[in-house]
Structure 1
Amino acid sequence: MELQVRKIVRHVEELFVENGRPLASPHRVAIAAAVIANPFGAGYIADLVSIADELGEPIGRLLGPECVRLLDDDVEAFGKVALVGLGGEVEHGSALIHNLRFGNVFREAAGGTELLPAAEKVGAFGSSIDVPLKHKTDAKTRSHHQTVTFRIEDAPRADEIIVGCVAANSGRPLARLAVFGAEAPVEVAVK
């Protein structure tokens, strides 16, 4: 099966000031997303895995290294996303992004070892989607738990899926929560 790409969207954000405080270095986020024809069509298909296995690596190669290149910095946090048009189902997007042939390409390009956090949903033309990010080598690193919202104005059409890779060069700007497991136990009054 041939991957049918309508468009590729590249986006980079640089944040210099957070809550009135200048950052020591810019917080950068890169998104590489492709708007593709839904390879599963509009009807129910029992075997999603065969098509996802066939297309996972080509989609990963199209987006993963490009996302890392766009960031133009060391990747510290990453995530992935699929937004399925109204003619499909959420499982279509899940099949494409929860596929090691897709994920391993991005993980390798980013130098990551952790599972890629993900979001997938069905949405109308121009819908936004929130992409969770976590640290690329330690998902318990709280400072890197963050969410990036994006949308593509003319997608997804009913017969399309947006697939994307997202990377950040650091954790949340001004992160200052305790490290995982370091909080003092909360005392609960017993009556």
Structure 2
Amino acid sequence: MQERMDHLDESIGLRKLVLYRDAVLTEAGEAPARPTRRASVAAVIRNPWLGTGPSADLSVEQARVGPVLARVLTDRLIASLGGVDEIEAFGKAAVVGAAGEIEHAGALIHTPYFGNLVREFLHGESIICFADTRAEAGETLIVPLWHKTHASTRSHYQTISARVSDAPRADEIVVIAAASTGPRPHPRIGDRTTDPVVTTETLEVVPS
């Protein structure tokens, strides 16, 4: 394992990995029917495009770095949540340091070299919801999640907070994959399959 991690450090400039995990045991004074476990894994890497300018081609590094990150992050998500079949919802995010472009954050997660592989590794079908931003080290990012095979299932609309205390440094990017084993506690707001038809014509009172 150490040999593999040393290779990753050299190939993508991986400085650290941070795993966050929680379990919702009670909500509104009652235990949920099925306790949900959630986790996020953050990889802190050097920004491969630092100082390249807004006309730089990002595709070569996308193809090189994206698959490595997809494997590293999903392996740890799966292990932390008890296996891929336990995972029901997923999300992704990236935070670029102050010296990088916001496009550099997007370049690592909005690409088939990352997103398609994360979806495959986690046995998903849905488009992966996301967040990306530029931030100083230690800022918290809210990562949205939804159902990995039925994106319109509202019970699984939820978020998880991700933070790395000393990242991203100005020349770094933090890439995050997150997942949940179930829905929010006590979900009861319906679904698109059970919603009534609501339009301005069907409502008796329309706010103005």
Tell me whether the two structures share a fold, i.e. TM-score over 0.5: yes
Asked if residue 154 in structure 1 is aligned to residue 170 in structure 2, the reply is: no
Q: Secondary structure at the match of 2:32?
A: strand
TM-score (norm 1): 0.93
Q: 1:135 aligns with which of 142, 147, 156?
A: 147
Q: Give 5+ residue unaligned stretches, structure 2.
A: 1-9
Residue of structure 1 in register with 2:105 after alignment: 93
Query: 1 CA distance for matches of 2:82 and 2:62?
Result: 29
Residue of structure 1 in register with 2:58 after alignment: 48
Instruction: State the shift of 1:50 in Å.
Output: 2.0
Query: 2 CA distance for matches of 1:31 and 1:50?
Result: 27
Residue of structure 2 in register with 1:39 after alignment: 48
Residue of structure 1 in register with 2:72 after alignment: 62
Superposed, 1:69-80 pairs within 5 Å as 69-73=79-83, 74-80=86-92
> Aligned residues: percent identity?
38
1:81–1:119 CA contact under 8 A, matched in 2: yes
Q: 2:118 aligns with which of 101, 106, 113?
A: 106
Instruction: State the shift of 1:104 in Å.
Output: 2.3
Please give the root-mean-square deviation of Cα atoms over the aligned residues, in Å: 1.7
2:142–2:162 CA contact under 8 A, matched in 1: yes
Instruction: State the shift of 1:43 in Å.
Output: 4.1
Query: 1 CA distance for matches of 2:99 and 2:193?
Result: 44
Residue of structure 2 in register with 1:6 after alignment: 15
Q: How many residues align?
A: 190
Instruction: State the shift of 1:154 in Å.
Output: 0.8
Residue of structure 2 in register with 1:28 after alignment: 37
Q: Give 5+ residue unaligned stretches, structure 1.
A: none
What is the letter of the counterpart of residue 90 of structure 2? F
Query: 2 CA distance for matches of 1:152 and 1:33?
Result: 8
Q: Secondary structure at the match of 2:25?
A: strand
Q: Any idea what the Cα deviations from partners look like across 1:50-107, whole Å, max 9, x if unmatched?
A: 2112211011111112212211151100000101111111110101001111122221
Q: Any idea what the Cα deviations from partners look like across 1:118-157, whole Å, max 9, x if unmatched?
A: 1000001111111110100011111111111121111110
Instruction: State the shift of 1:189 in Å.
Output: 4.0
Query: 2 CA distance for matches of 1:175 and 1:48?
Result: 41
| Greater strand fraction, Structure 1 or Structure 2 | 1
Larger radius of gyration: 2
Query: 1 CA distance for matches of 2:52 and 2:28?
Result: 48
Q: 1:171 aligns with which of 160, 183, 203?
A: 183
